[in-house]
Structure 1
Amino acid sequence: MSSTSEQPKSLFRDINADDEDPEVTEIESLCLRCHDQGTTRLFLTKIPFFREVIVSSFSCDHCGHHDSELQPAGRIQEKGVQYSVTIKNSKDLDRQFVQTNSASVSIPELEFESPPNKGVLTTVEGIIDRAVDGLNQDQVLRRIQHPEVAEQIDNFIKKLQDLKSCSTPFHIILDDPSGNSFIENPYPFFICNESLGIQESEEVDKEEKFNAKDEVVQFPSNCPGYIPHFKEVVLMASTCDACGLRDSEVKGGAGMEPKGRKITLKITDPSDLTRDVLKSDMCCVMIPELDFSTEMSSMPGKFTTLEGLLDDIISQLEKTNPFMIGDSTQDDKVSKIKQFCEKLKKIKLGEELDVHICLDDPTGNSYLQNVYAPDEDPNMTIEDYTRTKEQDDELGISDMKTENYESSE
């Protein structure tokens, strides 16, 4: 007995012209035309980027009858599928075409639709030839009995055959409620590769790209709900179709931290303004050089950059400050606020450096990007501190009871 065991062959084989053993099963079958014995051949194969199918072919040596059919090897899918492909050249005519017995084919430009028929494995050109063959049936008899109808059909057959010249682009639509039909995409990796910058778009004409409804392209990307070297967060965005208002907010995904956190960054270069910032709604923003500080809950939580955070502060001072608009306007205060906003704008533009931005968050849910991570940032300090009683009161922690809160009778 041999010590090495051969790897078992798969039941469903790839279509390969070099395969010397294609695993075709032959079965004697009754010919429905002459009622003599014919032969049915079964071939179990895989359609690339699709699924397994069973191709069957019947032939009768007695009367010369031939027939073929394709059946999906799997179950009916949960959803139907509709493919719409623009045919522009001979390559498109060579696209592999899988039509099950529940699928219909239509060509909108000719107002032509072929109802569900026998399943078939062919090409787009083969589908056109199949439609021509179907229309040509009984044309000899029809030319004698109904010459006008026969002439109209001949004209339509010519239009179908002219499609194969591809002189004018046309669409072919495959609609299958069973979800088991398929039109080949000759560029299966093109869309994903181009998105990742691997393949230049000039290599393939963009107009020739596969256009199938419900096509899904998957590729790995960073999760928008996770901030590296920090924690999970919840990003929320709301829009109003009535007034056009848009708003966004961010919340920590892990609750309140046991200690507060104070993050201080010294801005030494304009590139520091591009650092990511997660500011919770309870975080105070301070600029010691300007004697500036916001209060807790004065600004909503936001995930932005340092530049964006300064923009929000400037916008709040200039547009929503009651001293800047309406009857509450006071010239002296307006002048001071404008001067202060000018200083903030200079910091935002990188014209004034060596200033400190401080995020003081008693909930510990704010974050400032460390561009040197995982190493320490020489210009940033992080201090975790115990909250004061006043902070606990303001956060409502003092009134929380998390132990023995169920009354016993």
Structure 2
Amino acid sequence: MSVIGEEEVRGSKAIFKEISADDEDQQPTIIESLCMSCFENGTTRLLLTKIPFFKEIIISSFICDSCGGSNTEIQSAGKIQEQGVVYTLDIKTKQDMNREVIKSDSATTRIPELDFEIPPFTQKGSLSTVEGLIDRAVSGLEQDQAIRKATAPEVAAKIEEFVEKLIKLKDVETPFTLIIDDSSGNSFVENPFAPQRDEALTVTHYKRTTQQDIQLGLKADDDDEEEEEQVEEKPGNTIEDMRNEVLQFNTNCPECNAPASTNMKLVQIPHFKEVIIMATNCDSCGHRTNEVKSGGATEKRGTKITLHITDPSDMTRDLLKSETCSILIPELEFELGMAAVGGKFTTLEGLLKDIKHLIVSKNPFTLGDSSNPDLAGKLQLFGKKIDQIIALELDAHIVLDDPAGSSYLQNVYAPDPDPEMKTEHYERTFEQNEDLGLNDMKTEGYLEGQSADR
């Protein structure tokens, strides 16, 4: 199995090359294909490439010499992300129309102000701008207008009126909202202020539903029935047994797709609660990943932990960051939303290095054709400031804000209070309960409700 995995990795490196203007060997594959407009043969060019610090993509371009028709699209050749993502952009200026957008096939595009929605899998993926998305929507609506005017003039008139509204959006006379909801997690909206927080852009990660997994081809329709049949109660699997046992189950490597194994263990954190630690190690390509899940219930109140970093030993403090925890560094005017780096059980230094890697190294618009020198300079400066915080050359605070109360930062003075660390408990807002799925959760009064219905 390991030999096959290594061959697959070598093959992927040979096929997908990074975008480079100096690479003369990176030539597109030319295929003769049928034009769907005039039904004559045209030419399709395929380029398998890799956007630096992003992922592998397939760029295709079709040109028909007979009718002049053309078409371009982009397809993701990388893995489907573990969570879906929703980008909500408040567009207030014309500069916002120039933001770069990667929209995959599985993304839903919405403009609530016009009750406008482009369902998933109805458009091919594209690398464009906000203005380009609107132009593409206008072109799609105008495509069959000549036929509609002849067969359904009332429908054609309504579509023309709606197209005018879409075109007016490009002038940004009134603010509007653009929402891109991608269950595969492979879409992206540019933040021109990175690494600082963008007040106009909200990024939310979520767990896919079973129906979305079926749409993406990750699960068959009958998987739920098979899982229910395989669930059996086994005597002796108590909580105490799980604490002393490392569970292992088979999976596939998220990088090379070779067979791998994931280890899972229930751990009791002193002065806190139980957590589940999961780690995956691939023998084929060496990829390693770890994730932490809370093993207890959602706390009644949220928790906000503020640490003033004053000593080198602070970098070795144990830290548990749950998926619902946001990270703030006030001195850098930096905020990282929940689920951005997933659940982690690490040290403070490890978390800061993960933040630097996420913001500086994995940003898809720092290199290649989409690179921006000003943005790249800001990101490099941010990375240097993170290094200064780790080396205690820059005075800083780190804030862990978890509405679920499932995050933890080690108190080295426990059980006595830590003079440099402040822990606050607060009541969650309605919006925070909504994000955690608590507003619609009903755990009491079922019998009374059933009696009333009868």
User: Shorter chain as normaliser: what TM range?
Assistant: 0.3 to 0.5
The structure, 1 or 2, with the larger RCO (C-alpha pairs under 8 Å, 6+ apart) is 2
Normalized against structure 1, the TM-score is what?
0.45
Higher-Rg structure is 1
